Chain A
Amino acid sequence: MASQGIGASVLRNEDERFLHGRGQYVADITLPGTWNAAFLRSPIAHARIKSITIPDDLKGRVFTAADMTGVGPIVGISSLPGFRVSEYPVLATKKVRFVGEPIAVALAPERAEAEDMIERIAVEFDPLPAAVECLDARKSGAPLVHEQWPDNIVHQAEFKLGPFDEMVKKAAHKVTRQFRISRQAVMPMESRAALAHYDARQDELVVYASHQTPHLLATGLAKFLGMSQRRVRVISPDVGGGFGLKIFVEAEALVAASLAMRLRRPIRWIEDNLEHLTADANCREHRHTLTAYADNQGKFLAFDLDVVVDGGAYSIYPWTSCVEAAQCAGILTAAYDLPSIHAKLATIATNKPPICVYRGVARPGVCFSGELIVDAVARAIGREPYQVRIDNMVRPEQMPYSTITNKLYDSGDYPESVRQAVKLADVDGIRARQRRGETDGTLIGVGFASYTEQTAHGTSVLSKWGVELVPGYEMATVRMTPDGDLVIEVGIHSHGQGMETTLAQIASEVLGVDPKRVKVKFGDTAMSPYSTGTYASRSIVMAGGAVATACRTLAKRIAVIGAHLLQAKADDVRIENAQVIGPKGQVDFSALGRAWYLHPEDLPPAVDRGGLTVTEGYRPNPDSGTFSYATHAAVVSVDPDLGTVKLIDYVVVEDCGRRVNPMVVDGQVLGGTVQGIGTALYEEALYGPNGEALTGTLADYMIPGATEVPDIKLAHMTTLSPWTEFGIKGMGEGGAIAPPAAIANAVNDALRVLGVEIAETPITPRRVLAALAAAGKL
């Protein structure tokens, strides 16, 4: 058998069911007697609720906050100093604080009937002025989202690290820009979903949820329902994309769960697209002012960042509303050997949906401002932006490298990723073409963006984030079946990342089993070890490490039993291709499974009592995270008359250490990159002056389709992590980080002849034309 272990592009175990329509998502599950839930949601961003009137015939079918005693409120507390706590009621109590906030829920056998019912509920509002733009909401005198607070500041912090003042004095160049990153909806193709029922036999609440972190959801449900965790089981079946959206405890799931318990009836809520694009438009929105200080060669001396993140109306559990802003200082140095920084971070409450994280978390925003300022510095001193990048980057011989912000970069050759991207994007060719000019009047530009991505960061890092849930050892159970196959149980989740295959490949690497004979199970809290779940690009490093560790322990036990069956010494046997091979013969794993489970009379006397089931924990050492990195290059053509931006070419050079399954890695990078293209050019959850949601359909909120993206060129470097099993680095989020910056830099390169710069996402034709008009170039 050719190696099916680490490094092989093994076709995915999960494909078969998806290709035949046999995937099972929450909406596909119906339990007898299920009632479907429809939520009445606030049409107003900020208002007092004067009254709610429910027609008599709907009593017992429609529920409001008055029926939710003992449920919630959701409280996402950060222990960071000065954090202001908000209470997020599962159904609105006296006030509504964002468009889409749930006010009441109606239940009926069919969703359509439930929707008819919510039409008949009358709510009288007393509208209040809304805090919409976070920069305005920060000012004194702004409408207060939480009236008991003195202002809308959820949390703020300031850091000065390294010899900042000295560097500022030394600097020959000071370049300042302001940046805006739009609010987005994560928009997985399967929206959020929950189906709750009470299992009388087990006396437990069972919640099927579309979720990345089922154990964490179970913990949260128990907490906010006031139940013992013993009595809460979460099953997260097939999940149609997560990307960070599905990692918090949702008000709707709590409502469904409490009503299922109370009515002793399954309650199902499937978020529809309008709900997702309005009530769930919950990520990204940053405002930055960034100043770079550099010497006259363009060597960076200091970065000074002022970040405001729009935190929305409430803080979510367990990640809180300040986890986005709080990361912005730490990641500011990016791939650069930067001696000093100053950063001011603020999370501001507004009358918009509560902020959650989305692929890359704060990095797409910080990469956007950081990489655009790099280009602005390069323009100021008249050098090629890629050269300025290379000159400033942490060099491979400096690894491991500790940033001024206390991140420990483990390995990599950052400048080489730029050099390769320069070649693949053919910068010389583009420069020549720019000198010739385009016959159709468009302008061509090339832009770069590099990043580092901290992945699989563990206890030592998250314990400083102020969140209630800190990951520790990641656990995996590996057991051999009586016929010699393997079952792996893990607490992470997979929703597109192919973990049913890649974890099987890791088992194959250690034990030589065919990945097709390894069943990887996850998603059911009753049948997997506790885990904080899948987020922060951690699962292949953490669960992969746990699987490898457990398989090695299992290998020792297998060797003892196998040697006995072969009448050899345990030291004289080896494991290969799912066999124990001794000096004079071999036995298949099936013979071992048979001996342990069915014929213990064949076992050696000194057998391990743990048998052929092993649970092991894993944590890299140090656990401060392993850093993937990449350089992206975009080539665009801009039409200065129409303001349109067309992507002509796109290059990614990435390094995520050892690639367990190169095909899967490519898929993750490409998918992330296209989401980043969406951030760069198309996606924006728009709000009117009173906080009204303006983008409620996929015709208004545009995500990239097949025609919007070119054939992306992908190149890999492989620098192993010294700290993880097999040198693997996490990489699920990275693709989404750089595209907004790379594309904006390309647009600015194109517009350079006109002296015009863009500093805002998405780069829509309207924004390009506005920038041209502002410069008098239209």
Chain B
Amino acid sequence: MKVTLTLNGRPIEADVEARKSLADFIREREGLTGTHITCEQGVCGACTILVDGRPVRSCIALAVTADRRDVRTVEGFDDDPVMAVVRRCFSECHALQCGYCTPGMLVTARDIVTRLPNADRARIRLELSGNLCRCTGYLGIVNAIEKAASEIRARRP
């Protein structure tokens, strides 16, 4: 099936099998391997990307559903000022170890600080409940998001 989409700002046209997941499409056809796959079942959040600005689990979204949509993966935030803050806070708060959950975590984290800039720790944890990390124990991730949110709040007039 033919799809036309924008991937990290670049227009793309492709012929995809109906059963091909968006995650596999991004990784295999486009070679963007920053999007990781663990459960392929919508539980772990490793494959989280943005579709039309909203976090989506690319393992259970079919590539064909991305037709006429704007798709952004971890590779597509290099000029995003919010993501720049989130990334720095992740490093400063040791919110990553093996790095495998990190791309999905970053996309979710950016969504949290954008949508809920005043979220408290409990709310941050709740919002993170769809992203599993086996390494960090989450404390660093919660700290990083709290810190990024407060920095971003402070910048706003």
- Interface residues in chain A, defined as those with a beta carbon under 8 Å from any beta carbon in chain B: 11-12, 14-25, 27-28, 30, 110, 112, 187-191, 238-241, 243, 272-273, 495-498, 663-664, 666-667, 670-675, 697-699, 703, 705-707, 709, 711-712, 735
A-facing mask of B121-138, CB < 8 A → 1, else 0?
100111011011111111
Interface of chain A, helix or strand or loop or mixed?
loop
Q: Which of B27, B28, B39 is the one whose CB lies under 8 Å from A698?
A: B39
Q: What residues on A are CB-neighbors of B140 within 8 Å?
A: 667, 670
Q: Is the CB of A706 within 8 A of B134?
A: no
Flag whether B71 is at the interface (Cβ < 8 A): no
Within 8 A of A (CB), among B73-125: 73-75, 78, 87, 90-92, 94, 96-103, 106, 121, 124-125
Across chains A and B, which 5 residue pairs bring their CB atoms closest together, nearest first?
A: A21-B34, A240-B100, A18-B99, A496-B97, A21-B74
Extra pairs beyond A498-B97, A670-B139, A674-B137 (11, CB < 8 Å): A15-B90, A18-B99, A20-B87, A189-B46, A189-B100, A189-B134, A273-B41, A495-B98, A667-B136, A705-B128, A706-B141
A164-B130 Cα distance, complex, nearest whole Å: 52
Closest-CB distance, A82 to chain B (whole angstroms): 37
Within 8 A of A (CB), among B4-40: 19-20, 27-28, 32-40
A19-B129 contact, Cβ under 8 Å, with A14-B99, A699-B41: no
> Can you name 5 A-B pairs with beta carbons within 8 Å?
A21-B33, A28-B33, A667-B137, A671-B134, A711-B139
Within 8 A of A (CB), among B22-66: 27-28, 32-41, 43-44, 46
Q: What residues on B are CB-neighbors of A495 within 8 Å?
A: 98
Interface centre among B36, B73, B100 (most CB of A within 10 A): B100
Q: Is the CB of A675 within 8 A of B41?
A: no
A496-B125 Cα distance, complex, nearest whole Å: 22
Interface size range on B against A: 35 or more
Closest-CB distance, B143 to chain A (whole angstroms): 9
Q: What residues on A are CB-neighbors of B148 within 8 Å?
A: none
Q: What residues on A are CB-neighbors of B40 within 8 Å?
A: 272-273
A663-B94 contact, Cβ under 8 Å, with A27-B33, A190-B100, A191-B38: yes
Q: Which of A110, A273, A670 is the one whose CB lies under 8 Å from B39?
A: A273
Query: In this complex, what residue of B is CB-closest to A665?
Result: B94
A758-B37 Cα distance, complex, nearest whole Å: 37
Q: Is the CB of A15 within 8 A of B91?
A: yes
Q: Is the CB of B36 within 8 A of A25?
A: yes
Flag whether B149 is at the interface (Cβ < 8 A): no
Query: In this complex, what residue of A is CB-closest to B125?
Result: A706
Interface of chain B, helix or strand or loop or mixed?
loop
Q: What residues on B are CB-neighbors of A15 within 8 Å?
A: 90-91, 96, 99
Closest-CB distance, A164 to chain B (whole angstroms): 40
A664-B136 Cα distance, complex, nearest whole Å: 10
Closest-CB distance, B55 to chain A (whole angstroms): 15
A666-B90 Cα distance, complex, nearest whole Å: 15
Q: Is the CB of A698 within 8 A of B33?
A: no
Q: What residues on A are CB-neighbors of B100 within 8 Å?
A: 23, 25, 188-190, 240-241
A15-B93 Cα distance, complex, nearest whole Å: 11
A11-B92 contact, Cβ under 8 Å, with A21-B75, A706-B138: yes
A598-B91 Cα distance, complex, nearest whole Å: 38
Q: What residues on A are CB-neighbors of B136 within 8 Å?
A: 667, 670-671, 674
Query: In this complex, what residue of A is CB-closest to B33?
Result: A28
A238-B100 Cα distance, complex, nearest whole Å: 9
Q: Is the CB of A11 within 8 A of B91?
A: yes
Q: Is the CB of B39 within 8 A of A496?
A: no
Closest-CB distance, A97 to chain B (whole angstroms): 27
Q: What residues on B are CB-neighbors of A670 within 8 Å?
A: 136-140
A19-B125 contact, Cβ under 8 Å, with A27-B37, A28-B33, A706-B142: no
Q: Is the CB of A18 within 8 A of B135?
A: no
A712-B100 Cα distance, complex, nearest whole Å: 23
A12-B87 Cα distance, complex, nearest whole Å: 13
Q: What residues on B are CB-neighbors of A16 within 8 Å?
A: 91
Q: Is the CB of B43 within 8 A of A698?
A: yes
Q: Is the CB of A240 within 8 A of B139?
A: no
Q: Is the CB of A707 within 8 A of B125?
A: yes
Query: In this complex, what residue of A is CB-closest to B92?
Result: A11
Closest-CB distance, B96 to chain A (whole angstroms): 6
A583-B79 Cα distance, complex, nearest whole Å: 49
A496-B137 Cα distance, complex, nearest whole Å: 12
Closest-CB distance, A491 to chain B (whole angstroms): 19
Q: Is the CB of B103 within 8 A of A21?
A: yes
Interface centre among B41, B46, B106, B135 (most CB of A within 10 A): B135
Query: In this complex, what residue of A is CB-closest to B44?
Result: A698
Q: What residues on A are CB-neighbors of B87 within 8 Å?
A: 19-20
Closest-CB distance, B25 to chain A (whole angstroms): 12
Q: What residues on A are CB-neighbors of B132 within 8 Å?
A: 189, 698, 703, 705
Q: What residues on A are CB-neighbors of B28 within 8 Å?
A: 30, 110
A10-B61 Cα distance, complex, nearest whole Å: 39
Closest-CB distance, B57 to chain A (whole angstroms): 12
Q: What residues on B are CB-neighbors of A699 within 8 Å?
A: 41, 43
Q: Which of A110, A663, A698, A706 is the one whose CB lies under 8 Å from B128?
A: A706
Q: What residues on A are CB-neighbors of B125 within 8 Å?
A: 706-707
Q: Is the CB of A705 within 8 A of B129?
A: yes
